[in-house]
Amino acid sequence: MAKEFKRYLVTSALPYANGPVHIGHLAGVYIPSDIYTRYLRLRGRDVISVCGSDEHGVPITIKARKEGVTPQQIVDRYHALIKKSFEGLGMSFDIYSRTSSKTHAETASAFFRKLYDEGKFIEKTSMQYYDEEAQTFLADRYIVGTCPKCGNDRAYGDQCEKCGSTLSPDELIDPHSAVSGSVPVKRETKHWYLPLDRYEEFLREWILDGHKEWKTNVYGQCKSWLDGGLQPRAVSRDLDWGIPVPVEGAEGKVLYVWFDAPIGYISATKDLTPDWERYWKSEDTKMVHFIGKDNIVFHCIVFPSMLKAHGDYILPENVPANEFLNLEGDKISTSRNWAVWLHEYLEEFPGKEDVLRYVLCANAPETKDNDFTWKDFQARNNNELVAVLGNFVNRALVLTQKYYGGKVPACGELTDYDRQSIAEVAAVKASLEGNIENYRFREALKDAMNIARIGNKYLADTEPWKVVKTDPARVETILNIALQITANLAIALRNMGFRVGVLDADIYGP
């Protein structure tokens, strides 16, 4: 029997503050998260939804260096843009925070310090590339050279973006510093590591035995990582942008962004409410992480190991990660500017927020990578939103206005067909709720649209525009039921997170 929870904590992957949000982010993470949160609120549940900008790490320093500005200027720009874009789409976060905040720095530092004081880290010394001219250690992304697999002479020390191969700096041919252009040397440096291997047994029991209900892609990726054996992972790095490692002898070192970012969920909750511990330290809370598949290992393996090592926090109950959304048959790429950016969509299609939400949910990459095309966008708007949803609602309201001055007529004696139609709507509503509870949002949206289809069929079969000539009392009942279906449809769409009324003629047609 499923456990009953008193409250819910919904987290959404922190978008990286070195660029805008695109439709792949929305379909994979933020629209599913918003639907789930809105549904829980409508059900009267105690729920909070937290998110915020991930503002540390090497890509931000690279972008800042290219533009000749500070990292803080970069994150300030994109934090403001992302926050405004989410507000424009109607995302219902209770707080949209940021990891450059004072609260976050204090929370992440205290988290590290507790693990450090309790001996949960191991210290390791290693040889890393150092730029003598710039006098700085080089992160993998700051080392460029020739890819040994495809010959691309602009490969990074962690990946070749031309062939997609994962690399290490030592594999590059003729490596050089992206900072100064000089040839780097190896120097000794000390860092702290979280020994993930110590948590393998716990993770196996918690995930493989305790969460077999997780989505196949999530469970399978976790099992693959665990079967491959976990290794210690560095929690610090040599960098001048980030949260300083809060121990003596760690000058010039900051917390690794993978360690500091998920703690952002905790610091955001702290900024939201003084009762934050109720959501993070009570077994009566259900925590759900909404992420993309590229974040599965961090939210299912690494962050739970951090929480387990700390000892004071609950673990996630589910991590319903989605696959990727492609654009017109090609992988979305920020470096190639191949994306539909949310802020640009909002500017170019004012008032059409719900159309985008609908299309991205209807085509959500829940079980496999899916493709967004403008042809499909147009077809779904015209053939589903206008022809199905708009057609039914428009007919029900126009007839009510024509015959009864816009007032809801009384319901008389029901026929068997009336009862059958009402029962069908109730069954679809139950299916919709079950699908949302189990993170099947695409199916839930189909259920919502099926209510409109039931309404269309009901009006087509009962023909109130004909019956009114011979049995006006019967038409009162027909339109009463049609309006009941409309109300149920409106509630279903609210459950799906739509803000714009279902009667918006500009979107759904006359």
**Start-end ranges of CATH 3.40.50.620 in the chain?**
1-99+261-290+323-372
- Parts of the chain belonging to CATH 1.10.730.10: 374-508
User: How many Å apart are CA 28 and CA 332, to the nearest integer?
Assistant: 12
Asked if the model's pLDDT at residue 508 lies above 50, the reply is no
Please provide the distance, in angstroms rounded to a whole number, between the alpha carbons at the two ends of the chain: 48
**For residues 509 and 390, is the Cβ–Cβ distance under 8 A?**
yes
pLDDT at 510: 30
Non-local CB neighbours of 44 within 8 Å, separated by 6+ positions: none
What is the reported pLDDT for 448? 95
Which tens digit of pLDDT belongs to each residue from 164-205? 777 888 899 999 998 888 999 999 999 999 999 999 999 999
Q: Is 200 exposed, middle or buried (0-12, 13-18, 19+ CB in 10 A)?
A: middle
Return the higher-pLDDT residue of 431 and 2: 431
Query: How many whole angstroms separate alpha carbon 223 and alpha carbon 324?
Result: 20
3-state secondary structure 224-277: HHHHHCCCCEECEEECCCCCECCCCCCCCEEECHHHHCCHHHHHHHHHHCCCHH
Q: Are 464 and 399 in contact (CB under 8 A)?
A: yes
Mean pLDDT of 474-484: 97
pLDDT computed for residue 304 by the predictor: 98
pLDDT at 136: 81
Residues with Cβ within 8 Å of residue 440, at least 6 apart in sequence = 366
Q: Helix 303-310 vs helix 102-117: angle between axes, to the nearest 10 degrees?
A: 70
Tell the CATH superfamily of the 1-99+261-290+323-372 domain: HUPs (3.40.50.620)
CA distance 315 to 281: 9
Confidence of residue 325 (pLDDT cuts 50, 70, 90): very high
Give every CB contact of residue 78 below 8 A, 6+ residues apart in sequence.
17, 18, 19, 20, 53
How distant, in Å, are the alpha carbons of 77, 102, 114, 430, 446 from that of 489?
A: 40, 44, 51, 13, 12
Q: pLDDT digits over 199-230, tens only? A: 999 999 999 999 999 999 999 999 999 999 99
pLDDT, residue 126, reads 87
Measured CA to CA, the distance from residue 120 to residue 263 in angstroms comes to 17
Which pLDDT belongs to residue 499?
63
Length of the chain: 510
Query: What pLDDT does 505 receive?
Result: 35
Question: Bigger pLDDT: 162 or 504?
Answer: 162
Give the separation between CA 449 and CA 438, rounded to whole angstroms.
19
Owner of token pair 């001055």: 405
Predicted pLDDT of residue 1: 57
Assigned CATH topology for domain 374-508:
Isoleucyl-tRNA Synthetase; Domain 1 (1.10.730)
Q: How many CA atoms lie within 13 A of 94 on its CB side?
A: 20
Q: How far apart are CA 120 and CA 194, in angstroms?
A: 7
Using left for φ > 0, alpha for ψ between -120 and 50, and beta otherwise, residue 509 falls in left
What residues does 371 pair with on adjacent strands?
Answer: 326
pTM for the model stands at 0.92
